[in-house]
Amino acid sequence: MNENKPVSKVLVLEDCPAHVEAIRQFCDENNLIGVKVAKSRLASALRSNFDLGAIFVSGSYGGSSEESAAIARKIHAARPELPIIMRRGTDAGPGDVPAALDAVVCGSYVASDMASLRKLIDEYIFNREYPNALVRGIAELTSAVLASLFSDMDVAVDAPCIVRDRIIFGEVFSLIPLESTWCRGYMMIQAEEEPILDLLNRRETSQGAADFRDLNSLLGELTNLIWGAFKNRYVGDADGLSHSQVQVPLLINHKQKYISFGSESPHLCFTYRLKDEQSGRTVTLHQRFAFSLSWSPEDFQEFEQAAGATIGAGELDLF
């Protein structure tokens, strides 16, 4: 793994042990977190993994090419934003992927040519270069804000992740626009309601039991503080922004827990975990950056120096 670049999580639908090991090695070498899923666990794996970058599927997954094709079609129907990459048989040619899957599978490869798989993940997952100072700085400034708001809890951040999914985590989220001369888009903070309400109640405020309004207030304060730190560090002089900028509508489907920012570009995501050492309870927050309106990393600037360094087998296997 290259610790200086984000990772991405992929579901691996593969029955052949030899190919599983080859994909495991490929994931290690290409900043991918592979999650191998048995057919019997596929539905639950899709429900629980809402932050995926792609699906790797064998052409014989499930026991036959027909079954593999049916599974690929079902995944595409449920999560069309996820690129599905199919492994063909050893002697198969590029045209051996069934024509019926042309609109479902974004590309294919053979195990003897993993370079073609690398090209596909570069095209569909790692197709944007995020400056190291930006990725490191977001984790730093967000962790600092969380530490100030939750001084009695330990703050940990997972490796930054590239996500193609559009599934919303939890029941509550905030959105705030981000605009600079080098990027335009949105920051989104997502959370589950119950753990935060439990946290607020354990703080023994004198105003009675916490409710959703207290949660909203906390999430709003958190979002504003992070936005302010981001603005001071990366936006600089707002006078340089254009005043005739294109906008696109956001689309949110509450029933499907789905959000679209009007662009097919992957999102840069961070996961923060707040742990109460006394009780052992953890609150998880997901932060998503969708630079969907404008992205010019060559013009990236940092206006404030960083404060410090940033921080096998079975039915469901994490590589």
Burial class (CB in 10 A: 0-12, 13-18, 19+), 197: middle
Hey, how many other C-beta atoms are within 10 angstroms of the C-beta on 84? 24
Sketch out the chain's domains with CATH numbers: 8-124 (3.40.50.2300), 132-311 (3.40.1550.10)
Query: Per mean pLDDT, which range of 169-183, 194-208, 209-223, 249-263 is the poorest?
Result: 194-208
Segment 156-166, tens digit of pLDDT: 999 999 999 99
Q: So what's the pLDDT on residue 21?
A: 93
Q: So what's the pLDDT on residue 102?
A: 79
Q: So what's the pLDDT on residue 88?
A: 86
Q: So what's the pLDDT on residue 92?
A: 54
Query: Per mean pLDDT, which range of 6-15, 71-80, 97-106 is the poorest?
Result: 97-106
For 190, the 3-state DSSP assignment is strand
Task: Answer whether 83's CB lies under 8 Å from 54's CB.
Answer: yes
pLDDT over threshold 50, residue 310:
no
> What is the share, in percent, of the chain residues with pLDDT greater than 90?
71
Segment 88-117, tens digit of pLDDT: 876 555 556 667 787 899 999 998 899 999
Tell me the C-alpha distance between 313 and 244, whole Å.
Answer: 55
Average pLDDT, the chain: 88
Q: So what's the pLDDT on residue 237?
A: 63
